[in-house]
Amino acid sequence: MNVFLLNAGSSSLKFQFINTDDGSVLTRGLVDGIGLETCKFIVNGKEQSKRVRNHGEAVQLALSVVEASTIHAVGHRVVHGGEKYRDATLINEDVIKTIDELSVLAPLHNPHNLSGILACKSSLPGVAQVAVFDTAFHHTLPEEAFLYAIPLELYRKYGIRKYGFHGTSHRYVMLKAREILGREHVNLVTCHLGNGCSITAIRKNRSIDTTMGLTPLQGLMMGTRSGDIDPEIVSFLCDHEHLTPGQVIDLLNDRSGLLGISGHSDVRKNRELALAGDVQASLALKMFSYRVTAYVGAYLGIIGEADAIVFTAGIGEGAYFIREQICGRLKHLGVALDAERNRNNELIVSSSDSRITVLVIPTNEELMIARETMAVLRS
């Protein structure tokens, strides 16, 4: 069966066309710069420029490179599923309505995910569509992990709680770690480090805590997101910078993190500048790795005997120097890297005498979405 996969970001659309029988990718592409004057349209490595005004047009562009009659199903990454969706779900009018309602919790993502769904509904009538939710893997969090220490009636009234994100990625690398380690059940700390970052504590294959919360803003310092801050900072900036609460949230989402410290959101650029003596770039990298280490250490403390620490996504897979900084601070827990393996970004980067295995597993959210789409259709 051929599944068309859509992964919509705030200004981009990744897509793949996968044969689920053998896992082969028939077509892959990216529409990057939606809404800008010039947009990159990349298909199977070949790039051209287009003017793409919105995500609906981006989906039409993606569909134009695939023969519609060969698409048997469409799988969508949907960021927020709230408490209602604990598994991948066949899309109908009720699901569309709920995804729209949940846009208040993920305003940078759910509306664009919904645009993709509606565009496919129009262009591919009769083709089944499945929503695979970023939050679903984290529905196993216990109450003591997902509740905030605010009046309980606010959770009951509004659903204010930790939901967690990047669940598809964390689940994928958990399954791969099981294969690599040859274990039926695994205890892991999985680190999804990219422009967006999150860490998950996994005990016996189940997520028991994760760094992102009600929204993807909580947790780690990221490319442009602040991560954890004192909540009073919001009112302080409203008073002293004469900003609205919404403007402060925009600042924390779009102008903070690595970008806010050094002026550059890309870890590679910060590394280049740090090696050239840029003090702020060096500070940004130190802050980033420090915060990752703090959460890894905390999560190692709650999962029990750890089988592995897993790094994935762009930074996790490719930035050996970040892994060096993180694992260097965990020596007292018996974590040791093999310097050569780590620099080569090998699968196992820990040394033979490390008490905890350290893995670098490339994530494949699209393949995970395809598998979950098929599982829904089979059921």
Residues marked active site are found at: 134
Burial bucket for residue 197 (CB in 10 Å: 0-12, 13-18, 19+): buried
Is the Cβ–Cβ distance between 76 and 373 less than 8 Å? no
Tokens of 373: 């789409």
Nearest Cα to Cα of residue 216 among 260, 165, 141, 292: 165
Nearest Cα to Cα of residue 176 among 324, 348, 39: 348
Residue 281: what are its φ and ψ, rounded to 5°?
A: -65, -40
Q: In the 8-state DSSP scheme, what is residue 333?
A: G
Is the Cβ–Cβ distance between 327 and 292 less than 8 Å? no
Instruction: Measure the CA–CA gap between 344 and 328, rounded to whole angstroms.
Output: 17
Burial bucket for residue 270 (CB in 10 Å: 0-12, 13-18, 19+): buried
